[in-house]
A and B are shown apart, each in its own frame.
Chain A
C-alpha cells in the first residue's frame, strides 16, 4: 500500500495497469528515501545552483503596467538553463533514476521542452534517454528534435492516434510497462498517476519558495496574487505549493482558450472540462459523451494537453485556486508587449499567464502586488510566431 496520499480529494489516484503498480511503488519509496537523505538533497541543490542557475531572479516590470497602484513582478524561470522551469524537476527525477539503480530514461514531449530538459539531464548524469514525440510534433519542432539528438537522446516519433503529446504519453507508458526493471519513466508534468503529481510538485516547489523570500525582501509582505499558466500544470503547482496555506495570496492558473473556449479548439480543461480518467489520474479532461479523449489545441504546444494535474483539479474544486482561460490572440499580444516594453521574449505558454495578469493589473483599484511565473523563454517559439504574425510587426 502507499505511504503517501495517492489522491487530492477525489482527484488523482493510480489508474494504470496492475503491471505498473510495483514500478510506481518503487518510485514512491525512492522519493521518500531521497527526501531524508542529506547526500541526495545536497547533490540536487548543488545541481540546481551551479548547473541550472538557481535561484532565478525576480524582476519588477518597469514599463508594462500603467496602473500606478499595481506592482507586477516576473519570476524569471526563463533564465534557467534549458530555457524553462522544466529543468528543476528533471534533475530531481534523473537523480532518483540513478538512486533506483536504473540506467535508462523514458520521456514524452510535446513541443520538445521537456524532451530537451530530459536530454540535458541525462547527458550530464550519464543516463540513456529515449524520448517519445508525436510524429506531427517532430516535424513542427525540428530545432528541439535536433537539440535532443545533439545531447545524445534518442527521439522516437509516434504515429499512433493523433501523433501529438497525448499519444507520446501513451507510447511512453507502453514502453515503461515492458521495461520498468531497467528504465525510469520521467514524466514531464504534474499529471499522471501517483506519485508523479507529488514528486513533480515537490521538485518545482522552490519556484514559490524563492518567490516568497524575494518578495519579502523587496516588499516586506506576501503578494496579493501569484499567476501561472496551466497545461499539465507543473510550473503553476511549483509556484502555488508554498502559498497554498496563505489564504491571502490568490492562486491563479491560466489555461489556453485557443481559438475560444466555445469552439472545439482549446485546451482549457478545468474551465470547460468534465471529469474523467486520462493517463492514470482522475481529473478534468477533454472528452466526448462516450468518454473518448478529444484533441486539445493551443498556439502554445506546452499547454496543448487534454488533461490537467489532479492537484489543480482539487484546488479548483475546493475553491482555493482560480482558473481562467486566455486565447491565442491575447497570449500573442502579451508576448509582443513584454518584448517591446521590457526587452524579454517570453515563451508562448508563459504569455498566457502574463496576459491574464495584465488584465488584473488594469482592473485593480487597490494597491496590488502580482507575481507572474515567467516559466520559459520564447526563443523556441520564434519560428512559429513569425509564421503567425508575419510582417505585421
Chain B
C-alpha cells in the first residue's frame, strides 16, 4: 500500500509507463523491453524493425541514438552505431523515426538511451523539446550518473519526460536512496558490471538489492545488461524485477540478417515473442 502511494507521488510524465505497469500487474506479467539503435542499418529498415518488435509483443521500447564514442557499450551495440552513422543517420532522423512509431502506436512507452554530448550539442532544453514532440516518454543518458543528473531531470520534467536513472549492482545506500527520491518511469537495474553485450550473462540480482530498491521506493526496476534468453527474463521477474531489457541479443539478430530483411524481421518478431512469453508470473 505504502509503495503504491509513493509511486503515485512520483512524476508521472506521459503516464505511459505507469499505465503499462498497471496493465501488466493485472495480467500478472512482467515487462519485456527490447533495445535497438535508431537508424540501424538505415532509417527505413529501422522503422520496420521497431514495428516487428511491437508486433512480437514488446511492452515498451528502448531506442538508441548512434554516437561516435559509446563508452558504456560492448562490440554489438558499437557496431550498430557505426552502421547507422555510415548511413548518415543524424539525431533529427532518429526523431523522425520515433514520430512515425508514435503515430502508429499511441500507447507504447518509448525510451531514449544515449550519450550526453548528443544532448548538449543541440542544447539540453532544445533536445528534450524535440524528444517530447516526437513522442518520447523517457530519456536515459548513459554517461550522466545521479551526481550530474539534476539539471537534466529538471529540464526533462519541464518537457513532460521522465529521466531514467541507473541502479548498478555496486550502488551505495546513499545512491539508492537518491534514486528513490528522483527516479521516474522505471529504474534501469544493471544485471552486472561491465558494458552492454550478450557475451557475458547478467547475474540474478541479489535479493538484498531488490529488497533495498523496494525499501527506497525506486521506480519499477527493469533488469538490463547481458539479458539474452527467456530463462533470464523469467528469473529476473521471479527475483522481483518489474521486467527485463534486452539490447545486444536483439541487435545481434539485426546484424546476423543484414542481407535478408524478411528473415531479419521474422527472427526479431520470434525472439520478442519468446522473451515476452517468459514474462508470465
Contacts and interface: CB of A to CB of B under 8 A. Distances in A.
Contacts of B147: 1-2, 6, 14, 21
Interface in B69-91: 69-75, 78, 85, 90-91
B118 interface: yes
Interface stretch (B13-21, B165-173, B251-259, B261-269): B165-173
B170 A13 contact: no
Contacts of B118: 290-292
A177 interface: yes
A278 B69 contact: yes
Interface residues of B, number: 42
B129 interface: no
Nearest to B169: A19
Nearest to A292: B68
Contact of A17 (B68, B78, B142): B142
* Chain B CB within 10 Å, residue with most, of A13, A16, A291: A291
Given A18-B168, A166-B69, A177-B195, A287 B117 contact: yes
Given A17-B142, A291-B118, A292-B85, A161 B74 contact: no
B193 A180 contact: yes
Contact of A293 (B117, B142, B190): B117
A19 B170 contact: yes
B67 A292 contact: yes
Interface string B174-207: 1100000000000000100111000010000000
A2 B146 CA distance: 13
B69 A293 contact: yes
Given A161-B68, A174-B195, A292-B85, A15 B116 contact: yes
Interface string A261-301: 00000000000000111111010010101111100000000
A144 interface: no
B170 A289 contact: no
Contacts of A180: 193
Contacts of A21: 145-147, 175
B148 A291 contact: no
A340 to B, nearest CB: 41
Nearest to A291: B121
A106 to B, nearest CB: 13
B100 interface: no
Contacts of B172: 22
Contacts of B165: 18
A105 to B, nearest CB: 18
B155 interface: no
A291 B145 CA distance: 19
B209 interface: no
A170 B71 CA distance: 5
A160 interface: yes
Contact of A19 (B69, B91, B115, B190): B190
B139 to A, nearest CB: 15
Nearest to A294: B68
Interface string B142-155: 11111110000000
Interface in B52-111: 67-75, 78, 85, 90-91
A14 B145 contact: yes
A148 B142 CA distance: 33
B71 A17 contact: yes
Main secondary structure of the interface of A (DSSP, over half): mixed
A178 interface: yes
B122 interface: yes
Interface in A115-158: none
B120 interface: yes
B78 A160 contact: yes
A18 B171 contact: yes
A170 B69 contact: yes
B69 A14 contact: no
Contacts of A20: 145
Nearest to B67: A292
A161 B86 CA distance: 12
Interface string A1-31: 1100010000001111111111000000000
B188 to A, nearest CB: 9
Nearest to B143: A15
Contacts of B121: 276, 287, 289-291
| In the complex, the 5 A-B pairs of residues with the closest C-beta atoms, listed nearest first | A291-B121, A178-B194, A291-B117, A18-B166, A18-B145
29 contacts: A1-B147, A14-B145, A14-B147, A14-B148, A15-B148, A16-B143, A17-B142, A17-B143, A17-B166, A18-B146, A18-B167, A18-B168, A19-B168, A19-B190, A21-B147, A167-B69, A170-B71, A174-B71, A177-B194, A276-B120, A276-B121, A277-B115, A277-B116, A277-B120, A290-B90, A290-B91, A291-B67, A291-B91, A292-B67
Given A15-B143, A179-B193, 7 more contacts: A22-B170, A160-B78, A174-B195, A287-B121, A289-B121, A290-B90, A290-B118
Interface of B: 67-75, 78, 85, 90-91, 115-122, 142-148, 165-168, 170-172, 174-175, 190, 193-195, 200
Interface of A: 1-2, 6, 13-22, 160-161, 166-167, 170, 173-174, 177-180, 275-280, 282, 285, 287, 289-293
